[in-house]
Structure 1
Amino acid sequence: MTSSRLVPLVALGMAAAAVPASLAPPGRHSVAVGRGGSVGTVGFGNASGPGGRSGAGGRSGARPPWASGRSAGSAGGQAAAARTRRPNIVFVLADDLDGADMGRFPNLSRLAREGLTFQNFIVSDSWCCPSRATILRSQYVHSHDVRSNNPPDGGYERFRVKGEERETLGTWMQRAGYRTSLVGKYLNGYPGTERQGLVPPGWDDWHVPMPRHMYQQEDFRLVENGRANAYRRGHLDDVLTDKGASFIRTSPRDKPFFLYLAPIAPHLPAAFAPRHASAFPDAKVPRPPSFDRPGSGPQPRWLRQRGPLDEAAIRRDDRIYRDRLRSMLSVDDMVGTLDRTLRETGHQDDTYLFFTSDNGFHLGQHRLWPGKTTPYEEDIRVPALVRGPGIRPGTSTSALAGTVDLAPTFTELAGSAMPSCAEGRSLAPILKGGHPADWRKALLVEFYAGRPLDHPEGPDCDTLPTHVKSCPLPPSYAALRTDRETYVEYATGERQLFDLAGDPYELRNEVAEAPPEHVRRLSSWLARFRACRAVTCTYVDGG
């Protein structure tokens, strides 16, 4: 087993010079950027590296990175000031972004060169709303109980009715003395049945799109600080970028700020800004060994019924892939604008900039139609980058981390106590370059498919033509993701076990071949994980 220590990206074959600085100016792309190919080779989320040991690490209240006196930015007065005040935090959350092509985007590649890359960053549920509820509350899905995107068992209404808005990342950061803003997608179905101007507790600044035309990113409406405003012109992600940059520019110097910025891209239909319409004209969906392959070993029924992809399906996947790349250019522009704004306002040395996604996405792997919700790596492992005070530029860690860790990390960086409901760990020791000896050995992934089999509704179905009758979703499952294995138990009683080190594309289900005592240990571990609550989850994740 390898260590999860920090290593330079160049040591992983990710040359810092692969994306020249001249190709990555902060700001917006022209349509020529990235045409037809990659502008860099930095890898994100495609290397299955082992993590470290586990336990209650990350709850010890270790000094946050910004208190260490080290800064990744320039020396002098600004760096000295960064050591004497609590840091600002900017958190960018993409929608349905896998880690396969991050090197195509120059501003995100710059962020990787200037900061830390998490190679094993795992979501709690590869579905939008349950995953976002985890981010807001640092709870696994069985605890926050927002199990889907729609009522009655999920969506914004479920989150609100359960009273979970009263204690979230927003309220915790606000109580820590931060000026807070949420710009972009909140929870599916917002604003629900409440009045249109509803702003949840904890947010000083609020610009959140309503469902109508949100994914089309044109002719949309935003709930803005108590009012619903119509936008007849403009690309939604560009508007969100401007709102986020304005929040940074108008924040007072004597109060730290927390910005949660959630663009819509690359969620289907992967609407892109007109200026990017001609980008990536020749791009085709990657064909890894798992593409259009059913796998070996005992396969669950929902996979067995998938036939080979025909030529029309592959052409569709190529088109979706190009559109997703084009839509991501606006997100890359967003990161560039944020970077430029932080530099222009003198905040580059006292601000953490985090970037990740709510879940991943599959396109043709395992013969699957475009979508998410599965326990495969394409769906549960997402890119995660962070730059900020005390972080060594151009480094990478294989430590097992995930979306459940974001809120504890932000509150510790803010100098605040860990929320009592939190089930994740603070990543602050890892940001600082350390590796706690008792770091976790596993994370929990859950999916609840509470829908009748004859009427499937969900992310594999909501963008398909109406004439498509076959749209299988996995049944409910729970999965244990360790540093080298994924073990899955479906509600049907079917199971999967993948050796990520020897079979990174998850083509061989080894559950029938593995030693029975090993499978029993994984099953017992998973059962304890599914029953954990609050701090006990950080004991269970050690095995």
Structure 2
Amino acid sequence: MLFSILYAGLGLRAAVARAQSSSPNIVFIMTDDQDRRLGSTDYQSVLQRELVAKGTEFTNHYTNQALCCPSRSTLLRGQTVRLSYNETLTVQRAHNINLTNVVAPGGSYNKWVLSGQDTNYLPHWLSAAGYRSEYIGKIMNGYGLSNYDVPSKGWDHSDLLVEPYIDDFNLPVLSQNGETLVFYDGFHQTDVIRIKALDRLEYLTTNQSDPFFLAITPFTPHVGYQQDLPSHRPTPQQRHLELFPDAAAPRTPNFNPADEYQANAGGWVKDLIAMNESAINMADFVYRSRVQALAGVDEIIEDVVAKLEEKVIIDNTYIIYTSDNGYHHGQHRTPAGKSLFYNEDTNIPLIVRDPGVPANVTSSIPGLHLDMAPTFLEITGLAEESWPEFFDGRSLLPQWQDPTSSDNAGADAGQGNSKESINIEYWGNAGIEAPSAGVLGSPFVNTTYKTIRMLGAEQSWVYTVWCSGETELYDTAADPYELTNLAAADNTNATEHKALINRLNALLMVTKSCEQNACRDPWSLLSPDGATLTSLTGALDTTYDAWFAGFAVVSFDTCLAVLSDANEAPYYPELSDAVGGVGLGRAYRNATDVIEAAAGVRTIVTAEYYGSEAQRNATFAELTAASRVLTAEEIAAR
């Protein structure tokens, strides 16, 4: 017994010594389709207690396309040289990666692989920094029965959810390192992710000494395709089905708005009819299901924190919580879904805990998902000359460590705005994730748009050009719910905003065309009469009215589901002037004109709900005992 006590003490001291001397570990938890604007995180008591109260919440963190595949690929790929936090920076997103949707031809895992971008992304860079990198959960849409054996490159260990079983929370099927598919019979998917993540943390903290990056990415609270309400809600664990009985979709001012607002929207949104009582009740039910399902994610956070404390490395580990994109529930009459440029869909949760990050702080400093990869690399200490040259983002680490500094905020346009403007783009069909979708016309086809969003304190606007030619302009400081379209044809004030629109149009033209330097500093390309501009505030000087009025207008020839150079011309600068003479990031990826979708059908079915109270503390051994390998016939099902 004495020997055991002494051995345990030596082990504890060794763990403490390693924690104090090694580079920081990173635990990255990312949910799927979680809102920030509609209060879902308020229902997560563990998130509030362990991360928000002990870390910093960033309320102005955005994704640049409100859809899973584009957002995830942007986060993993980052796309140039890091700029310091106080320099002007507007960044461009999905068009340089060219994964613009979740299905063919715009996106999917197959396109990610064929483009060659999986040979030069986050895990490869982490390896160069001396880190062990692991990934548990959802990687990307289109990873399924037909291509699971094409493993996600770079990770030292991966255990990935596969389609089409990913859409049924009670039929968890995963592939470990691209090997044979395994079905975990009788378990809820979120429990499987939690148990596997804890097992990997045990390995990472016991059996190897390298600093580590562990991504934990549950499918929750994405809608599921299960037995009770096909394609319309996530199924919570059995033990959580009765939680939050009074939870309902928040009645924000833009919830099911009146005709006077809806008629002045653009694209397919303007034609949506008012939600009836049935649609509203469904929105409430789905919202309640989502916060119930997130209780399982809270358990992941709770157990991860406990494990890090047990291993005495909590003080040397960044814990980062976010989602791939946001979500709406009745806002702008869309009963449920994402894919729009509005705040509900693009403004996402970001909470960071680390001893170097202030506790119980809320920060409005803007950030983007494409900034995450360079942030991770700065945490690892990898020399900047070893970073990929195609980065469009910059590290957020200075603002994480000093989230209340006015130097970081980028709020004072004209004094070096770190993130004054954000470019948001969308291609492909969009749908409504609710039973009324077919009645409302879903899926919608004329959905392509380009948006510039201003996040400065002096200038706070969002301006959108739809492929149909319609435009939307909102003063988000005075109209945070984006209801009064100042660019609408019948708006009596539309004329007075023409000068502003001309500036936003020019900025949007640059960001939709840019790569590398132009993305980091678009104002450097906008020099009326040789003037040097650094912000929208300076650009609004009336001296420049004529110059901006003569600028080419952002437009589309027609509405297409994919990015087409000719359809979206002109560009500024012209593509021939871009790096390598190709533009739009094509110098850093393979051409993928034709891709095949990952097909598959479920042959395993269940009418049961799993995730009982007893399974809350189920062990990895119990999970393994319940598993079986899929048969060749089940894998080959089409």
- Bigger shift: residues 292-301 or 158-167: 292-301
Match of 1:152, SS state, is coil
Is the Cα–Cα contact under 8 Å of residues 129 and 154 in structure 1 kept in the other structure? yes
Residue 16 of structure 1 is matched in structure 2 by none
Residues 263 and 271, structure 2, Cα contact 8 Å, conserved in 1:
no
Given candidates 72, 75, 86, the residue that maps to 1:132 is 72
Given that residues 150 and 178 in structure 2 are in contact (C-alpha distance below 8 angstroms), is that contact kept between their aligned partners in structure 1?
yes
User: Normalising to structure 1: TM-score of the pair?
Assistant: 0.80
1:475–1:256: structure 2 CA closer, same or farther, 3 Å change rule?
same
Residue matched to 2:331 = 365
> Aligned equivalents of 1:83 and 1:478: distance in 2?
47
Tell me how far 1:180 sits from its aligned partner: 0.7
Asked whether the equivalents of residues 431 and 442 of structure 2 are also in contact (C-alpha less than 8 Å), the reply is no
Shift of 1:537: 1.7
Structure 2 residue 441 is matched with structure 1 residue 470? yes
Change (3 A) 1:459 1:109: farther
Tell whether 2:115 aligns with 1:115. Answer: no
1:422 match: 391
- Distance in 1 (CA, whole Å) between partners of 2:451 and 2:130 is 37
- SS for the counterpart of 1:214 is helix
> Taking structure 1 as reference, are residues 403 and 380 closer, same or farther at Cα in structure 2, changes over 3 Å only?
same
Aligned to 2:172: 220
Query: Where does residue 424 of structure 2 map in the other structure?
Result: 445
Q: Match for 1:502 among 478, 499, 513? A: 478
Match of 2:453 among 470, 478, 481: 481
Distance, in Å, in 1 between the alignment partners of 2:115 and 2:324 is 21
Cα displacement (A) at 1:419: 2.4
Deviations 1:362-392 (A, max 9, x none): 1111111211101111101011100013111
Cα–Cα, structure 1 residues 233 and 395, in superposed 2: closer, same or farther, change >3 Å?
same
One-letter code of the match for 1:425? R
Match of 2:241 among 257, 277, 293: 277
Which residue, 15, 30, 52 being the options, matches 1:93?
30
TM-score by length of 2: 0.69
Provide the residue aligned with 2:629 in structure 1. none
Identify the residue that residue 153 of structure 2 maps to in structure 1: 201
Equivalent AA in structure 1 for residue 220 of structure 2: A
User: Residue 431 of structure 1 aligns to which amino acid in structure 2?
Assistant: W
Q: 2:220 aligns with which of 262, 265, 276?
A: 265
Q: Is the 8 A contact 2:65 2:94 kept in 1?
A: yes
Structure 2 counterpart of 1:66? none
For residue 83 of structure 1, report the CA deviation from its aligned partner: 5.6
Contact 1:207 1:223 in 2 (8 A): yes
Q: CA deviation at 1:446?
A: 1.0
* Secondary structure at the counterpart of residue 243 of structure 1: helix
Shift of 1:421: 1.8
Native 8 Å contact 1:422 1:535 kept in 2 = no
Aligned equivalents of 1:347, 1:326: Cα separation in 2:
30
Aligned residue type for 2:156: D
Question: 8 Å contact 1:212–1:220 — kept in the other structure?
Answer: no
Please show how residues 55-204 of structure 1 align to structure 2 within 5 Å.
84-99=21-36, 100-101=38-39, 102-110=41-49, 111-139=51-79, 140-191=93-144, 193-194=146-147, 196-204=148-156
Q: Return the match for 1:519 from 496, 501, 508.
A: 501
Deviation at 1:301, TM superposition (A): 4.4
Partner of 1:39: none
Cα separation, 2, equivalents of 1:405 and 1:534: 14
Q: State the match for 1:538 in structure 2.
A: 520
Any conservation in 2 of the 1:405–1:425 contact (CA below 8 Å)? yes
Distance 2:19 2:361 in 1: 21
Shift of 1:501: 1.1
Q: Which amino acid aligns with 2:513?
A: A
Q: For 1:194-244, what per-residue CA distance to the aligned partner results, in whole angstroms no more than 9, with x for missing partners?
A: 3x3332221011110111221221222101123221211211111111111
User: 1:422–1:519: structure 2 CA closer, same or farther, 3 Å change rule?
Assistant: same
SS of the residue aligned with 2:377? helix
Q: How many residues align?
A: 459
User: Contact 1:297–1:508 at 8 Å: present in 2 too?
Assistant: no
Instruction: List gaps (5 residues or longer) in structure 2.
Output: 1-12, 80-92, 224-232, 409-414, 488-493, 524-533, 536-638
2:253 is the alignment partner of 1:289: yes
8 A contact 1:297–1:509 mirrored in 2: no
Amino acid at match of 1:310: N
Could you say if the C-alpha distance between residues 78 and 387 of structure 1 is closer, same or farther in structure 2, counting changes exceeding 3 Å? farther
| Partner Cα distance (1:414, 1:521) in 2 | 39
Letter in 2 for 1:259: L
Q: Percent identity?
A: 31
Contact 1:125–1:380, Cα closer than 8 Å, also in 2: yes
Secondary structure, in 3 states, of the residue corresponding to 1:346? coil
1:335 deviation in Å? 1.0
Q: Distance in 2 between matches of 1:81 and 1:230?
A: 37
1:493–1:97 distance in 2 versus 1, CA, 3 Å: same
Change in Cα spacing, 1:380 to 1:467, as seen in structure 2 (3 Å) is closer
**2-structure distance, mates of 1:501, 1:82:** 44
Residue of structure 2 equivalent to 1:237:
190
Does the CA contact (< 8 Å) of 1:296 and 1:509 recur in 2? Answer: no
SS at match of 1:258: strand
**How much has 1:156 moved relative to structure 2?**
0.8
CA contact (8 A) 2:370 2:392 kept: yes
Tell me the residue number matched to 2:634.
none
**CA distance in structure 2 between the partners assigned to 1:158 and 1:215 by the alignment:** 21
Shift of 1:489: 1.3
Counterpart residue number, 1:375 = 341
SS at match of 1:114: coil
CA distance in 2, matches of 1:223, 1:465: 35
Distance 1:113 1:272 in 2: 26
Match for residue 41 of structure 1?
A: none
Higher Rg of the two aligned structures: 2
- Counterpart CA distance in 1 for 2:264 and 2:496 is 13
Q: How many angstroms apart in 1 are the aligned matches of 2:52 and 2:246?
A: 26
Indicate the larger mover: 439-448 or 120-129: 439-448
Question: Does structure 1 residue 388 correspond to structure 2 residue 357?
Answer: no
Work out the CA distance in 2 between the residues paired with 1:103 and 1:476.
Answer: 33
Is 1:460 equivalent to 2:397 in the alignment?
no
Instruction: Give the SS at the match of 1:299.
Output: coil
Q: Does 1:529 align with 2:501?
A: no
Asked if 2 retains the 8 angstrom alpha-carbon contact of 1:423 and 1:536, the reply is no
- Residue 304 (str. 1) matches residue 304 (str. 2): no
AA paired with 1:325?
V
Whether contact under 8 Å (1:87, 1:351) holds in the other structure is yes
Specify the code of the residue in structure 1 equivalent to 2:287: Y
Superimposed CA distance per residue, residues 254-287 of structure 1 (whole angstroms, 9 cap, x where no aligned partner):
3100011111111112111000011111222111
